[in-house]
């Protein structure tokens, strides 16, 4: 039986000092986990992301690295479930592809091997809608069987998507050879309270808010029709818990938000919720890594409901309202 009970069990979140890690830890603790271990080397994670949890009596923070199997073996001993979040995302992959390949591939191998050795009951692997690629071929409904498209996309984005495909297959391989139960969740771009400055698309939200707060025109790249897909961090934390609790195994599902949004509509919404500001400025390529699809598409999340009973609940307006309120009240709003 692949279902794992939350109450009374120990869980480990690898890459836990992160936006998703902190929200997931709170979700597991609220549902009675006996202990939640956050393992992170703090190269990308931050103390700010977990500051609200640090004094929780059932939370344990471990400084460790996915590139050191010994750290993983110690942390996962006695764990019923492990959530593998640690990864280089596209912007970091662009800056250091060699380290990114190590962490996103060898790091996942190390985590799975530690889970196998310690007889962990179930692994949740954080994948991405980047497994569908970028560029003109990405259009229509993206379902779990949609192939990978790479033509015309930035190399870092393709490297990132390819490492997530490999990570998923490493999970499949471990399941087939050793029976380690797993669920792959293909996250859309995550946003919400304790937002960081590392994700290319989520960064766009913060950049827009920063500009309008300075009285500057927010920038829209291209004609503003580019489709973006966001999912609220609280919805993802719930998906991680429900994937552990479900009987599902050996499956990969999309975990996207309620609906897509265009770049122009996103900028308009952030401007409205941020108190108003100048009309957006339409600009061309600024040299930064921008993840473009080349068309309109929808990331279908119906299969997640079939597999683990999950569907997104927080719409973009509500999620952005919460994020902006947190940014306004936080000293951590600047990197």
| DSSP H or E segment with residue 234 | helix 233-245
Whether the per-residue pLDDT at 17 is higher than 50: the answer is yes
Residue 34, domain member (yes or no):
yes
Which residue range(s) make up the domain with 94? 10-191+231-257+296-313
Q: What are phi and psi of 38, to 5 degrees?
A: -100, 115
Whether the per-residue pLDDT at 48 is higher than 90: the answer is no
Structural domains counted in the chain: 1
HSE-up of 181 (CA within 13 Å, CB side)?
Answer: 17
Please report the pLDDT score of residue 201 as a whole number: 56
Beta bridge partners of 82: 12, 123
Please report the pLDDT score of residue 74 as a whole number: 98
pLDDT tens per residue, range 93-128: 999 999 999 999 999 999 999 999 999 999 999 999
Please report the pLDDT score of residue 140 as a whole number: 81
Q: Quick one: pLDDT band at residue 295, thresholds 50, 70, 90?
A: low
Residue 40, domain member (yes or no):
yes
Per-position b or e across 22-39, b if 16+ CB within 10 A of its CB: bbbbbbbbeeebebbbbb
- We report the CATH number of the domain holding residue 27 as 3.40.50.720
The C-alpha torsion from 154 through 259 and 270 to 161, rounded to 10°, is -20
Hey, CA dihedral for 215, 190, 86, 130, is it positive or negative? negative
pLDDT tens per residue, range 158-181: 999 999 999 999 999 999 999 999
Residue 323, domain member (yes or no):
no
Please report the pLDDT score of residue 200 as a whole number: 52
Residue 132, domain member (yes or no):
yes
HSE-up of 28 (CA within 13 Å, CB side)?
Answer: 36
Average per-residue pLDDT in the chain? 90
Q: What is the DSSP letter of 129?
A: G
Whether the per-residue pLDDT at 133 is higher than 50: the answer is yes
Q: Backbone dihedral region of 218: left (phi > 0), alpha (psi from -120 to 50 degrees) or beta?
A: beta
pLDDT tens per residue, range 188-206: 989 998 876 555 556 678 8
Please report the pLDDT score of residue 109 as a whole number: 98
Please report the pLDDT score of residue 84 as a whole number: 98
- Mean pLDDT score, 274-294: 70
Please report the pLDDT score of residue 194 as a whole number: 82
Per-position b or e across 305-323, b if 16+ CB within 10 A of its CB: eebbebebebebeebbebb
Q: Quick one: pLDDT band at residue 289, thresholds 50, 70, 90?
A: very low
């Amino acid at each position: 039986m692949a279902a794992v009970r939350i109450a009374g069990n120990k869980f480990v979140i690898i890459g836990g000092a992160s936006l998703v890690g902190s929200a997931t830890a709170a979700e597991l603790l609220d549902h009675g986990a006996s202990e939640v271990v956050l393992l992170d080397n703090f190269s990308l994670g931050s103390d700010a992301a977990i500051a609200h949890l640090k004094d929780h009596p059932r939370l344990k923070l471990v400084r460790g690295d996915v590139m050191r199997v010994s750290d993983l073996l110690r942390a996962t001993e006695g764990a019923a479930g492990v959530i593998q979040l640690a990864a280089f995302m596209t912007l970091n992959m662009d800056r250091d592809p060699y380290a990114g390949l190590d962490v996103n591939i060898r790091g996942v191998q190390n985590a799975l091997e530690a889970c196998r050795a310690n007889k962990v009951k179930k692994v949740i692997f954080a994948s991405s809608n980047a497994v569908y690629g970028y560029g003109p071929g990405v259009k229509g409904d993206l379902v779990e069987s949609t192939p990978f498209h790479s033509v015309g996309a930035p190399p870092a984005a393709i490297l990132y998507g390819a490492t997530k495909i490999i990570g998923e297959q490493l999970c499949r391989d471990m399941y087939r050879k050793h029976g380690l139960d797993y669920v792959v969740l293909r996250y859309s771009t995550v946003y919400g309270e304790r937002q960081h400055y590392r994700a290319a698309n989520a960064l766009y939200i913060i950049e827009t808010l920063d500009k309008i707060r300075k009285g500057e025109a927010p920038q829209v790249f291209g004609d503003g029709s580019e489709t973006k897909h966001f999912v609220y961090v609280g919805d993802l934390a719930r998906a991680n818990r429900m994937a552990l609790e479900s009987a599902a195994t050996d499956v990969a599902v999309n975990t996207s938000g309620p609906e897509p949004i265009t770049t122009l509509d996103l900028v308009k919404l952030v401007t409205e919720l941020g108190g108003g500001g100048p009309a957006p400025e339409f600009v061309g390529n600024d040299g930064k890594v921008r993840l473009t699809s080349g068309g309109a598409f929808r990331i279908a999340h119906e299969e997640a409901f079939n597999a683990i009973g999950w569907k997104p609940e927080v719409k973009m307006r509500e999620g952005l309202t919460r994020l902006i309120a947190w940014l306004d009240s936080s000293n951590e709003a600047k990197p």
